[in-house]
Amino acid sequence: MPIRIAVPHETTPGECRVALIPAVVDQLVKQGVQVRLQAGAGCPAYYRDRDYTSAEIVADRAALLGDADIVLTVNPLAVEDVGLLREDATVIGFMHPHENDDRIIALRDRNITSFAMELIPRISRAQNMDALSSQASIGGYKAALMAANLTARFFPMLTTAAGTIRPAKVLIIGVGVAGLQAIATAKRLGAMVEAYDVRPETREQVESLGAKFVDVKVSAVGEGGYARELSAEEKAQEMEVLAQHVAQADAIISTAGVPGRPAPKIITTAMVEQMKPGAVIIDLAAYSGGNCELTIPGESFGHELVMIYGPLNVPAMMPVHASEMYAKNLYNFLALIVHDGAIKPDWEDEIVAGSLLTRDRQIYHALTRQRIEGGDL
């Protein structure tokens, strides 16, 4: 009997993505896998049931989940859903291992093999499974669009009969995948873009997109090339330089994050109050608390005359392509798990081992295990 892959409807509020898109389903089916989709699962992402020509559409969620060898999701399954799974089923998707212990315990206790997409190591070979990157790209692009859309000003320079409009100044804080994409998009729209990150190698990357790097004149490079902790004094200088750039910005897009930890607070209330009326802050780090002290995750509001928006789950706002990229990431990852029509992961493989969350009633991800079960790392 062929492996059965199930794709349930996402239940997280605001989630519009779907784990597999029709084209990827076709590819899987061609490889002899059976794919079953909960009715309407693709609809929020604009993929209609009738577009999934090679998948079996199942109306009953319990039946779908109870009968699956592999369940593919975008967001983690709720505890109730885990209860519906067959024991020793496999679940692949974002697992948010840093939160919601119940869910992880449920997975462990039902002997579910679960792989967390966010734990896939960022090595060269794994780039095509790196869902963090693919979704962060969308986030950065979208954040720049939101900034342009919410600000009361033009981004580009415009010389017109009714006067010359100076280009907007856009400041990007945190130059990871999302930050870079935000730089590129804001630059495209004609803004003057500056960007800041603590990692010194980002300077060249920022410049490679034609933007300016904000030089805080503090080097975080310590011995042996490792980043070192900044002294309080240096930290203050960093903040002071940054404050000047914040005050001049028409739009700020902040993406600074440290995996598994709350986002660093970089934009203080005082800084916000020095900003121009009509300026906006798009805080992509809102999901982990936000880079701005004032950010309220998921909300958009004005503080004095500055608009602050900390959107959650931005990729879901562009569901067609977000789902497409995520589905391809899953597809590439599945190639490591499924061989010759059977679930035969190579447990030694760096990627498989790294992304494994639970298996055999154990939690494999060290940090999570330590948090939930105690003990050593």
Partner 1 sequence: MDTIIQISYFVSAVLFILGLKRMSSPVTARDGIVWAGVGMLVATLITFFHPGMHNYLPMTVAIAIGGGLALWSGKKVAMTDMPQMIALYNGMGGGAAGAIAAVELLKGEFPSTSFLALAIAGALIGSISFSGSLVAFAKLQGWARKPLRFPGQQVFNLALLAASIGISIYLIVLGHFSSGLILAFFALALAYGVMMALPIGGADMPVVISLFNALTGLAVAFEGFVLNNAAMIIAGTVVGSAGTLLTQLMAKAMNRSIGSVLFRAFGTAEGGAAEAVTGSMKPIDAADVGVMMAYAERVVIIPGYGMAVAQAQHKIRELSELLIKRGVDVKFAIHPVAGRMPGHMNVLLAEANVPYDLLYDLDEINPAFPQTDVALVIGANDVVNPTARTNPDSPIYGMPILNADLAKNVIVIKRGQGKGFSGVENALFFADNTRMLYGDGQAMTSELIQAVKTL
Ligand X SMILES: NC(=O)c1ccc[n+]([C@@H]2O[C@H](COP(=O)([O-])OP(=O)(O)OC[C@H]3O[C@@H](n4cnc5c(N)ncnc54)[C@H](OP(=O)(O)O)[C@@H]3O)[C@@H](O)[C@H]2O)c1
Ligand Y SMILES: NC(=O)c1ccc[n+]([C@@H]2O[C@H](COP(=O)([O-])OP(=O)(O)OC[C@H]3O[C@@H](n4cnc5c(N)ncnc54)[C@H](O)[C@@H]3O)[C@@H](O)[C@H]2O)c1
Binding site for ligand Y (CB under 6 A): 122, 124, 127, 130, 132-133, 136, 173-179, 196-199, 255-259, 264, 266
Binders in 186-215 for its own copies, by CB under 8 A: 188-190
Query: Nearest distance from residue 155's CB to partner 1, in Å?
Result: 10
Distance CA 38, CA 299 (A): 31
Answer yes or no whether residue 160 interacts with partner 1 by CB under 8 A: yes
The amino acid sitting at 355 is: S
Q: How many CA atoms lie within 13 A of 187 on its CB side?
A: 17
* Number of C-beta neighbours around residue 59 at 10 A: 10
Build a one-symbol-per-residue string for 25-64: x at contacts with its own copies by CB under 8 A, - elsewhere: --------------------xxxx----------------
The type of residue at 34 is Q
Of the candidate residues 36, 108, 328, 365, the single one contacting its own copies (CB under 8 A) = 328
Q: Which residues contact 108 (CB under 8 A, 6 or more apart)?
A: 358, 361, 362, 363
Provide the 3-class DSSP secondary structure of residue 134: helix
Q: Given CA atoms 227, 233, 234, 236 in this order, what sign does their dihedral have?
A: positive
How far is residue 149's CA from residue 236's CA, in Å, rounded to a whole number? 33
- Give backbone dihedrals phi and psi of 37, rounded to 5 degrees, phi first: -125, 135
Per CB under 8 A, the segment of 29-37, 70-78, 108-116, 153-161 that binds partner 1 is 153-161
Whether 346 is a known active-site residue: answer: no
Distance CA 155, CA 151 (A): 9
Tokens 């079953």, residue?
A: 36
Q: Is 95 helix (H, G, I), strand (E, B) or coil?
A: coil
In degrees rounded to 5, what are phi and psi of residue 362? -130, 155
Q: Which of 58, 294, 318, 337 binds its own copies (CB under 8 A)?
A: 318
Residue 158 interacts with ligand X (CB under 6 A): yes or no? no
C-alpha distances (whole Å) from 199 to each of 248, 271, 276 are 23, 22, 28
Which string of x and - marks every residue 130-149 that binds partner 1 (by CB under 8 A)?
A: ---xx--x--x---------
Q: Closer to ligand X at the Cβ: 124 or 217?
A: 124
Contact with ligand X (CB under 6 A) among 14, 59, 109, 127: 127
Distances from the Cα of 149 to the Cα of 155, 195, 278, angstroms: 9, 20, 12
Catalytic residue among 133, 135, 137, 288: 133
Report, as residue numbers or ranges, the catalytic residues. 122, 127, 130, 133, 226
Residues near its own copies (CB under 8 A) are 16, 45-48, 127-128, 130-131, 133-134, 137-138, 141-142, 145-146, 148-149, 151-154, 156, 158, 160-163, 165, 185, 188-190, 277-278, 305, 318-321, 324-326, 328-329, 332
Provide the binding-site residues for partner 1, judged by CB under 8 A: 123-125, 127-128, 133-134, 137, 140, 156-165, 167, 177, 180-181, 184, 188, 190, 192, 204-205, 207-210
In the complex, the residues that contact ligand X under the rule CB under 6 A are 124, 127, 133
